[in-house]
Structure 1
Amino acid sequence: MSSGKIAAQHATLACYKIAMTVNPKLLRQWDQAGQTKVVLRCTGEEELLVLEARARSLKLCVRSIEDAGKTQIAAGSRTVLGILGSGRLVNQVTGKLRLL
């Protein structure tokens, strides 16, 4: 599995756990629509935090993943951002990003 696929799975699980209790209707819609996952790249942790804030402001289900620091990345560094919501709203946050 590619690193992008691994990142998508990890972020998806984090969002899934939140949506189960906070917005089960959204989770059902996502499930029925085929569980779409798209992996994009940003310039770094600072941009990731801006994207996270923008997603939260749109009331999307969002979860950033902090690295444990056991290999190449410093502990606590945010490396992955999961966003779950309607494609239209998610695209408002991620529409200018490029595929990983």
Structure 2
Amino acid sequence: MTSGKIAAQHATLACYKALMKTNPQLVQHWERIGQAKIALRVNSEDELLELEAIAKSLNLCARSILDAGRTQIAAGSRTVLGIGPAPVDLINQVTGHLKLL
């Protein structure tokens, strides 16, 4: 599994857990249509935080992940942002300009 796929799995779980409490119907729909996960690249932690704020302003589920610091990343560093599941057009308003990881 690539690093992008691993990151997507971690962030997906955070969003999944949050939405199971607030919108289980959306999660069930996402499960039925294939559970899409796309890993994209940002240039900095600040950019990641900005995208999280934009996603939340659009009422999207957005969860950033703090690294545990067990390998080469400092503990507490934000390394991944999960957004969704949500309609593609809404997610693209936040991430449409980013490149694949």
- TM-score, with structure 2 as normaliser: 0.95
Q: Give the counterpart letter for 1:96 in structure 2.
A: H
Root-mean-square deviation over aligned CA pairs: 0.8
Percent identity between matched residues is 66
Shift of residue 29 of structure 1? 1.7
Q: How many residues align?
A: 100
- Partners of 1:13 and 1:91 lie apart in 2 by 20
Post-superposition Cα deviations, 1:60-89, rounded to whole Å, max 9, x if no partner, equal 111100001122111111000000111110
Give the structure 1 partner of residue 3 of structure 2.
Answer: 3
Post-superposition Cα deviations, 1:7-52, rounded to whole Å, max 9, x if no partner, equal 1111111111001001112111211221111000000100000000
Give the structure 2 partner of residue 97 of structure 1.
Answer: 98
- Partners of 1:86 and 1:29 lie apart in 2 by 11
The runs of 5 or more residues in structure 2 that have no matched partner are none
Give the structure 2 partner of residue 87 of structure 1.
Answer: 88
Q: More displaced, 76-85 or 23-32?
A: 23-32
- TM-score, with structure 1 as normaliser: 0.96
Query: Structure 1: which 4+ aligned runs deviate by more than 3 Å?
Result: none
